[in-house]
């Protein structure tokens, strides 16, 4: 029986964590993810979970302790945002290359410059090449659902990679919305017991983790890691299928919203997709064939699937909530346009920068994006540079 209630994104994640009952969680407070370790600490204090919480002195130590705990054979979790993720950087790579199935709840917030605490994707986008699987949520429900699927993907024998479960800071993490939760027992059954094959504390055999590898061996290790990332695509889909059986909610690499017959598509990640769906409904009433491709999985990057879903569109707006300072746009824009080129998907495309440092995005802003797409397709409108949405003139 589903449990219908209302809670914030952080509360939803904490509820998922309670049901998963991980073995070890090191974490360090940083806005807006702070509530997650707070909630878990409270659960520990009340005996609701068996988790050993480590109140580390920094995020670098948070990920380092997570590496130690996971290598030792414990199901391990951490949470962070923004500068915290940036501070972990070095060891974020170590976690992935050590093939440790750690799960990290990332509550997306911009990186400093100027200091700001609001929603942006520059933190996790900066870690996009670190070897972690990245799954993004539009709302609290998806954050909860993604979290419950995370360990099944990370720990899968074909994968053995860490997973980031991302949601937008404040907009999702702090806003209270309706949600449908699962009962504890079916969740526990779905997630399963963690039974690693090799780990430091395996009594029958010693194990060594984290070698120095000379050039003769290192490249093969990286290729093996890349292969695991590619294999994770099927696992992500398989786990989603199982999860649908359990929850009735279906997930894939992306969600298409009125996309099938769309002339004009927005491609976006996270909470802005809700706003976009509203704009689409309004435009459809006016006869504009607007649609959305909401990216759920960014790593591995399902470029072929995304491009295929956009085939037939006249114009596409790729929305980035993270600057890359390349002078060409953002990370989603760069990767998706490359994928469209390879797939020979010939739609007009523009990469739009939006919502940086929590800049609000209204339905009207998105309507304007669709109007520009129409203008591009019908009148050949071009953009001198990648535009910023809602910028103060």
Give residues in contact with another protein (CB under 8 A): 23-24, 26, 50-52, 54-58, 60-62, 64-74, 76, 90-91, 94, 98, 200-203, 206-214, 217
Least Å distance, CB 65 to another protein, is 3
Tokens for 129, please give them: 């090449």
Smallest CA-to-CA distance from 32 within 179, 168, 141 is with: 168
Tokens for 388, please give them: 């910023």
Least Å distance, CB 211 to another protein, is 4
Nearer to another protein by Cβ, of 198 and 241: the residue is 198
Least Å distance, CB 96 to another protein, is 12
Nearer to another protein by Cβ, of 63 and 319: the residue is 63
Other CB atoms closer than 10 Å to residue 129's CB: what's the count? 11
Q: Tell me how far CA of residue 218 lies from CA of 21, 118, 212, 221, 222, in angstroms.
A: 35, 39, 9, 5, 7
CA-CA distance, 372 to 374, in Å (whole number)? Answer: 5
Nearer to another protein by Cβ, of 74 and 319: the residue is 74
How many angstroms from the chain centroid is the CA of residue 218?
28
CA-CA distance, 210 to 71, in Å (whole number)? Answer: 10
Nearer to another protein by Cβ, of 7 and 69: the residue is 69
Least Å distance, CB 312 to another protein, is 48
Least Å distance, CB 247 to another protein, is 27
Smallest CA-to-CA distance from 298 within 379, 236, 256 is with: 236
- φ/ψ (deg, to 5) at 179: -155, 150
Nearer to another protein by Cβ, of 54 and 280: the residue is 54
Nearer to another protein by Cβ, of 28 and 170: the residue is 28
Contact of 355 with 303, CB cutoff 8 Å = no
Least Å distance, CB 240 to another protein, is 29
Least Å distance, CB 269 to another protein, is 30
Contact of 182 with 247, CB cutoff 8 Å = yes
Least Å distance, CB 76 to another protein, is 8
CA-CA distance, 299 to 125, in Å (whole number)? Answer: 10
**DSSP-assigned letters across all residues of 35-71:** HHHHHHHHHHHTTS---EEEE-SSHHHHHHHHHHHHH
Nearer to another protein by Cβ, of 55 and 192: the residue is 55
> DSSP letter at 197?
S
- Calculate helix-pair angle for 9-20, 184-191, nearest 10 degrees: 70
Tokens for 286, please give them: 């006016």
Least Å distance, CB 113 to another protein, is 23
Least Å distance, CB 215 to another protein, is 11
Nearer to another protein by Cβ, of 23 and 238: the residue is 23
Contact of 365 with 389, CB cutoff 8 Å = yes
> DSSP letter at 183?
P
CA-CA distance, 38 to 68, in Å (whole number)? Answer: 22
Nearer to another protein by Cβ, of 25 and 133: the residue is 25
Nearer to another protein by Cβ, of 16 and 71: the residue is 71
């Amino acid at each position: 029986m589903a449990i219908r209630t209302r809670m914030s994104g952080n509360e939803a994640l904490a509820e998922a964590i309670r049901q998963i009952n991980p073995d070890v969680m090191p974490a360090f407070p940083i806005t807006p993810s702070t509530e997650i370790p707070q909630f878990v600490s409270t659960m520990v204090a009340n005996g609701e979970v068996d988790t050993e919480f480590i109140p580390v002195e920094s995020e670098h130590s948070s990920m380092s302790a997570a590496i130690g705990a996971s290598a030792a054979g414990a199901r391990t979790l951490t949470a962070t945002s923004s500068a915290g993720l940036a501070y972990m950087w070095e060891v974020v790579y170590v976690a992935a290359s050590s093939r440790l199935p750690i799960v990290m709840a990332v509550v997306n917030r911009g990186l400093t410059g100027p200091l700001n605490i609001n929603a942006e994707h520059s933190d996790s986008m900066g870690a996009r090449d670190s070897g972690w699987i990245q799954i993004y949520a539009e709302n609290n429900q998806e954050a909860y659902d993604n979290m419950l699927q995370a360990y099944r993907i990370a720990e899968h024998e074909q994968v053995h990679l860490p997973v980031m479960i991302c949601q937008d800071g404040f907009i999702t993490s702090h806003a209270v919305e309706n949600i449908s939760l699962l009962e504890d027992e079916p969740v526990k059954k779905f997630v399963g017991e963690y039974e690693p094959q090799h780990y430091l504390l395996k009594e029958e055999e010693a194990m060594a983790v984290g070698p120095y590898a000379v050039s003769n061996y290192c490249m093969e290790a990286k290729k093996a890691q890349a292969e695991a990332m590619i294999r994770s695509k099927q696992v992500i889909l398989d786990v989603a299928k199982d999860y649908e059986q359990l929850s009735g909610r279906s997930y894939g690499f992306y969600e298409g919203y009125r996309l099938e017959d769309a002339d004009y598509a927005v491609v976006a990640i996270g909470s802005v997709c809700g706003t976009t769906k509203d704009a689409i409904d309004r435009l459809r009433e006016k006869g504009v064939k607007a649609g959305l491709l909401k990216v759920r999985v960014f790593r591995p990057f399902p470029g072929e699937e995304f491009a295929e879903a956009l085939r037939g569109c006249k114009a596409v707006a790729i929305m980035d909530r993270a600057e890359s300072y390349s002078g060409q746009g953002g990370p989603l824009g760069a990767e998706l346009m490359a994928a469209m080129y390879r797939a020979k998907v010939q739609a007009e495309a523009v990469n739009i920068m939006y919502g940086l440092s929590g800049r609000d995005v209204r339905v009207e802003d998105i309507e304007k994006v669709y109007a520009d797409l129409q203008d591009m397709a019908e009148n050949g409108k071009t953009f001198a540079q990648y535009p910023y949405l809602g910028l103060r003139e």
